[in-house]
């Protein structure tokens, strides 16, 4: 039974999570005070503690929300695609969009790094997410190899891991130097790089393999 009109509590809960994602993205976990989140959400600290037992519980809620959100979008846009190359394109496009339209990719990156050793309970969901991400790409590469559109002397899991590395490393460079890095161009270049690198020997061609235009801005 879904209630026709959402209850008051659910709405403010979502506003708290949304404010938390925003603040944590910008200033990290330690750098964000409960007070600031409450203010940003337009509720009192008490309301926040009514919904979440402590700061970490709130962060876990935010993480779950964002990981779910990202994976749902990926599944929606990418899984249906038959063509492995199109799938990789869709992955990088999704990342670009999530990184520029909202700060949701940055939230994941920031919190993942901050929680590395300091918060094992928080690290776990991130680690699981990264593994799922690599597994998803491993499947994509494996399918491409079975179809013969990808070379098979490169192990699919390795290709997946390098792809993830390229995406994350590019995002990090972008967040760190938005003036110096053109994210959409760079991300498309990753797709092109892997299309080219993973092409089977006989079919390899230069066209599209290299992006002549530098992604270094200014």
- Bridge partners (DSSP) of residue 216 are 181
Among 8, 82, 206, 212, binds DNA (CB under 7 A): 8
Residue 48 or 92 having the CB closest to DNA: 48
Among 43, 91, 108, 189, binds DNA (CB under 7 A): 43
- In angstroms, what CA-CA distances link 28 with 25, 122, 127, 177? 6, 13, 18, 18
CB of 68 to DNA, least distance (A): 21
CB of 60 to DNA, least distance (A): 12
CB 150 within 8 Å of CB 144: yes
Phi and psi at residue 32, to the nearest 5°: -110, 130
At what angle are helices 8-27 and 104-114 packed, to 10 degrees?
A: 70
**Is residue 141 a contact residue for a second copy (CB under 8 A)?**
no
Q: How many residues bind DNA (CB under 7 A)?
A: 23
| Tokens linked to 138 | 């491993």
Per-state percent for the chain, helix, strand, coil, to nearest 5: 70, 0, 30
CB 39 within 8 Å of CB 12: no
**Environment class of 8 (CB within 10 Å of its CB; exposed 0-12, middle 13-18, buried 19+):** exposed
CB 218 within 8 Å of CB 195: no
Judged by CB under 8 A, the chain residues 175 through 214 that form the site for a second copy are: 175-177, 180-181, 186, 189-190, 193, 196-197, 201, 204, 206, 209-214
Residue 88 or 111 having the CB closest to DNA: 111
Among 102, 114, 125, 149, binds a second copy (CB under 8 A): 114
Among 64, 75, 86, 155, binds a second copy (CB under 8 A): 155
Q: What is the CA radius of gyration of the chain?
A: 20
Judged by CB under 8 A, the chain residues 2 through 21 that form the site for a second copy are: none
Binding site for a second copy (CB under 8 A): 26-28, 30-31, 106, 109-110, 112-114, 116-118, 123, 126-127, 130-131, 134, 151, 153-155, 157-158, 161-162, 164-170, 172-173, 175-177, 180-181, 186, 189-190, 193, 196-197, 201, 204, 206, 209-216
């Amino acid at each position: 039974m879904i209630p026709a009109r959402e209850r008051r509590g659910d709405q403010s809960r979502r506003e708290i999570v949304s404010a938390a994602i925003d603040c944590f993205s910008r200033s990290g976990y330690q750098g964000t005070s409960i007070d600031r989140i409450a203010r940003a959400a337009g509720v009192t600290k008490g309301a926040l503690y009514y919904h979440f037992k402590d700061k970490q519980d709130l962060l876990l809620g935010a993480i779950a929300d964002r990981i779910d959100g990202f994976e749902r979008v990926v599944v929606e846009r990418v899984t249906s695609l038959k063509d492995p190359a199109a799938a990789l394109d869709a992955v990088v496009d999704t990342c670009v969009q999530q990184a520029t339209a909202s700060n949701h990719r940055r939230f994941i990156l920031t919190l993942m790094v901050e929680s590395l050793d300091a918060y094992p309970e928080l690290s776990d969901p991130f680690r699981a997410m990264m593994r799922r991400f690599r597994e998803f790409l491993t499947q994509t590469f494996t399918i491409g190899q079975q179809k013969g559109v990808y070379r098979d002397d490169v192990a699919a899991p390795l290709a997946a891991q390098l792809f993830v590395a390229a995406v994350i490393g590019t995002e990090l460079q972008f967040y760190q130097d938005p003036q110096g890095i053109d994210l959409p161009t760079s991300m498309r270049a990753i797709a092109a790089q892997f299309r080219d690198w993973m092409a089977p020997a006989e079919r390899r061609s230069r066209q599209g393999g290299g992006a002549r235009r530098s992604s270094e801005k200014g």
